[in-house]
Structure 1
Amino acid sequence: MLAVFDKSVAKSPEALQSPHTGSASAMKDGFLAKHFGSVHPGSVTVNLGSAGSIAYSLDRQNPLLPRLFAAVDDIFCLFQGHIENVALLKQRYGLNKTSNEVTIVIEAYRTLRDRGPYPADQVVRDLEGKFAFILYDSSTKNVFLAADADGSVPFFWGTDTEGHLVLSDDSEIVQKGCGKSFAPFPKGIKILK
């Protein structure tokens, strides 16, 4: 999975920002999304306009940590891994039997956004399993990111030469877009505005 967000939508942490030269802007002409597509045949890229882009592929996925994608009401979500308490969460959020992990994350986010005052970290703590996800809400221009408390799913983030935030489960993809300005994603939650 891959996401590239403009700095006006998601500011990258200062620790990931360093002056580096030689690598191209991850967003310019869809550079990093095109590279992702060349490395992962059959990938799908969603252009989010000036906010950035997201891409995913089922190529070379770990069968124990599957990748899922969904878009509901201008909310786009990439999910990798699995949630163990799916039945409980379906009941909590009033979802039907066919709902899966990615739709649960979207509904949990919508509950957080619309019905608060649920703390964001509580929403993520309620998810039991091994996972990482990237959610972009185009109506509010919010980015909601999380990884399980054990960091079970490979997940990296970085900053390209123009300050765009790059996220992926593939460290080589992040390095291609960010040079040395990348690191493993910290365990837990991050909401970027």
Structure 2
Amino acid sequence: MLAIFKNGLVVPPQELKSPASSTHAPAFDNAKNLEETLKDFLSSHSNNGFSLGFADNALLAYAPPQRSHITAHQRMFCGVNDIYCVFTGSLRNLPTLIKQYGLSKGVNEAMFIVEAYRTLRDRSPYPAHQVLKDLDGSFGFVIYDDKARTAFAALGADEVVKLYWGIAANGSLMISDDVNLVKASCAKSFAPFPTGCMFHSERGLMSFEHPMHKMKAMPRVDSEGVMCGSNFKVDALSKINSIPRVGSEANWATWGHQA
């Protein structure tokens, strides 16, 4: 899976940008542009990979796992009513969630995420962190809401599924489960996506496991001693001043539109 959100649609954490990249332009000399990275993704999945572009705002690319990768996590794609989701992993309590949201039995994980997102965006008062804490399983997903022009990503807390994110030379945010794709375009300005966390294009990064605590950026150095994009951890000693809302303004679709 590969998601690219253009600079302006999202404001990625500045700590993702390597000091080497910000002070020395040559840090990106060998980096691939986004078109080349997308071409690499599609060429490696020539039989079943595809991509969707959304004007100058976003791009999603998807390919199911190769059959030879027996241990690979399942990947799914779903698009309904201008909401698109790329999902990797699985939810153990999917049948329970399907009943809870009144969905049909044939719904898979990606379909559920889209339907739950749409339900919560339009009607439900549940806060984003509570919704994600109710997901029992190993998962990572990226949503693009083309109607609202918002992006949303989350990664489960069990550290089984891995996602990576970074800032490309043109300022775009890239998210993928393939670290090599991210490194190709983001040079040193990348890091693992933090587990148990969610990122909204307008509100930023937050831990859904510990919603009352702030996130802390931890400097990261590679094997060559070069500063890379920061790792993000929950700061157990620093709390958010206000309690996260539990009204409709706090659900995961309108998270960035608090009054």
Q: Same fold (TM over 0.5)?
A: yes
| TM-score for both structures, normalised by structure 1 | 0.92
Q: Deviations over 1:59-104 (max 9, x none)?
A: 4455562000010000110000000001111111111011010011
Match of 1:33 among 30, 34, 38: 38
- The one-letter amino acid paired with 1:101 is E
CA distance in 2, matches of 1:176, 1:7: 18
Q: Pick the structure with greater CA Rg.
A: 2
What residue is the counterpart of 1:166 in the other structure?
Answer: 174
CA distance in 1, matches of 2:120, 2:70: 30
CA distance in 2, matches of 1:157, 1:59: 20
- Of Structure 1 and Structure 2, which has the larger fraction of its residues in helix? 1
What residue is the counterpart of 1:135 in the other structure?
Answer: 143
Structure 1 stretch displaced more, 111-120 or 100-109: 111-120
What residue is the counterpart of 1:21 in the other structure?
Answer: 28
Q: Give the total of aligned pairs.
A: 190
Match of 1:85 among 80, 93, 112: 93
Structure 1 stretch displaced more, 17-26 or 161-170: 17-26
**Gap runs ≥5 in structure 1:** none
1:95 equivalent to 2:103? Answer: yes
1:192 equivalent to 2:197? Answer: no
Task: Indicate the structure whose relative CO is greater, using CA pairs within 8 Å and at least 6 residues apart.
Answer: 1
| TM-score for both structures, normalised by structure 2 | 0.70
CA distance in 1, matches of 2:124, 2:105: 25
Identity %: 38
Q: Deviations over 1:131-164 (max 9, x none)?
A: 1000000000111111111221121000001110
Match of 1:68 among 76, 80, 97: 76
CA distance in 2, matches of 1:126, 1:166: 27
**Gap runs ≥5 in structure 2:** 203-259
Q: Contact between 2:166 and 2:189, CA under 8 Å: does it hold in 1?
A: yes
Please state how far the C-alpha of 1:177 moved relative to its aligned partner.
Answer: 1.1
Q: Contact between 2:138 and 2:161, CA under 8 Å: does it hold in 1?
A: yes
CA RMSD in angstroms, aligned pairs only? 1.5
Q: Contact between 2:167 and 2:190, CA under 8 Å: does it hold in 1?
A: yes
Match of 1:111 among 119, 123, 128: 119
